[in-house]
Each structure stands twice: as C-alpha cells, then as structure tokens.
Amino acid sequence: MNRAMVGLALGGLVLGAAFGALALRSTDSQDSTRTAAVSGKPLVGGPFSLIDQTGKRVTDQDFRGKEMLVFFGFTNCPDICPAGLQVMAAALDQLGKKADDVVPLFITLDPERDTPEKMGEYIKNFSPRLVGLTGSASEIAATAKAYRVFYQKVPDEKNPNNYSVDHSAFFYLMGKDGAFLAPIPITNDPAQLASSIGKALG
C-alpha cells in the first residue's frame, strides 16, 4: 500500500471516529441521579483565520450566507489534489444556478511552500470560483484539526531537501451558518459529487 493510500485510510479512520462520536452531557435530576443527554451531531469545522490567494486575511465569517465546499491538499500534490479540484469544479458547473451560493475552498496543508501567490497560480488552473487559503503553520494546523483532517510531512528519501505531504481526502460541505452539513468521500465522478451536494443542499 503506498503512502497516499495509507494517508487516506488513516484520515478515514479519524473522520469516521469524529462522525461516530456522540457528545454526552450529564444533568442532575431531583433524585440526584444522572441522566445522559445524547447529541449525535459530529464536531467538524469551526472558526478559522487564513490568507486567501490575493493576500487578504479572511475568516469563516466572510463566507456566512453561502455554503462552503472545503477541500484540503497542497499544490505539489501529484494526483489526489488536482483530481479532486477538477471534479469539484466540474460538479459545481453541473449544478448550475444551485451552485451560485456554494463557495469552493482549497486549504493548503503545506503552508511552508504554498504562499498566497503560489495558491493563486495553482487554483486558476481549475476554476475562477475557487478560493485558495494558506496561513502560518499553526493556523493551518488549527484549521485541519477542526475539520478532523489527517496530514503529515513525509521526507523524500531520494532528495533530503524535498518532502511530500500525506493527507486524508474528503470534501466537507458546510451550511450557510458555518455548520457542518455532510462529508463527501473523494470521487473521480463529477456527476456523483454534484448529486451528493444537491442532496445535502435539499
């Protein structure tokens, strides 16, 4: 199994655990017994403050009133990222007017190399809709943690000055209020992604 597949498998386990987790809170009743109240809402997403491809700092609040379709990766990614972005762009085109309120976000997991300028050059190969986001290592780490994204830097055995980034690959659909709507597994079929987005949006 290659490193990319290992990353996908580990990321799937992390994300699956997050979706399966139930938040429990205890409340005291009059007879002092404790009753567990169960909430099955997965804790995915949250506030972020990052830099877009124009060099402007943006936060999650800037996208309120629109759904966010979030995808994590990096510009030196050899296959999963460009394929995912191509599918994302094609799926939104297929949705037509239904996609007018959907903002596709590509968030780098390699802030060391992915400057705003590099992100801008990269995303213009896929769609003018795309917003590329980068930031400091700590800002990216915090955002990835909030979205339950697995990633790790992997040194290049043949070139010690180079490295790759193993990472999980999911599309995250967030509502107009920033709340998590649905995880969508990576796919090579734009029609399948368009259908998944359409169903989640209702």
Place of tokens 């980068």: 134
DSSP 96: G
In a domain? residue 193 = yes
Rounded-to-integer distance, Cα 15 and Cα 26, Å: 25
User: How far is C-alpha 150 from the chain's CA centre?
Assistant: 10
pLDDT bin (cut points 50, 70, 90) of residue 160 is confident
- pLDDT of residue 33 exceeding 90: no
Q: What CATH code is carried by the domain that includes residue 66?
A: 3.40.30.10
Assigned domain for 153 exists: yes
pLDDT at 179 over 90: yes
Residue 35 falls within a domain, yes or no?
no
Q: How far apart are CA 122 and CA 100, in angstroms?
A: 22
Q: What's the pTM?
A: 0.81
Q: 31 pLDDT exceeds 70?
A: no
Q: How far apart are CA 82 and CA 76, in angstroms?
A: 9
Among candidate residues 154, 153, 181, 185, the one with its CA nearest the CA of residue 169: 185
pLDDT digits (tens, 9 = 90+) for 45-77: 999 999 999 999 999 999 999 999 999 999 999
Distance separating alpha carbons of residues 192 and 71, to the nearest angstrom: 16
**37 lies in a domain?**
no
Contact (CB, 8 A) for 50 and 57? yes
Residue 31 within any structural domain of the chain? no
- What does the mean pLDDT of the chain come to? 84
Helices (H) then strands (E): counts for the chain: 5, 11
Give the contacts of 90 (CB within 8 A, at least 6 positions apart).
190
Residue-wise burial string across 157-184, b where 16 or more C-beta atoms lie within 10 A, e elsewhere = eeeeeeebbbbbbbbbbbbeebebbbbb
CA distance 134 to 107: 6
Q: Could you give the C-alpha distances from 69 to 42, 88, 158, in angstroms and in order?
A: 17, 9, 36
Q: What percent of the chain lies above the pLDDT cut of 70?
A: 79
CA distance 53 to 100: 20
Examine residue 174 and state whether it is found in any structural domain, yes or no: yes
Structure tokens at 70: 């979030």
Whether the per-residue pLDDT at 171 is higher than 90: the answer is: yes
- 38 in any annotated domain: no
Range of the structural domain that residue 68 is part of = 3-22+44-201
The domain total for the chain is 1
Instruction: Read off the amino acid at residue 171.
Output: F
pLDDT level of residue 43 (50, 70, 90 thresholds): confident
pLDDT at residue 151 is higher than 70 = yes
> Does residue 175 sit within a domain?
yes
Residue 37 pLDDT class (50, 70, 90 cuts): very low
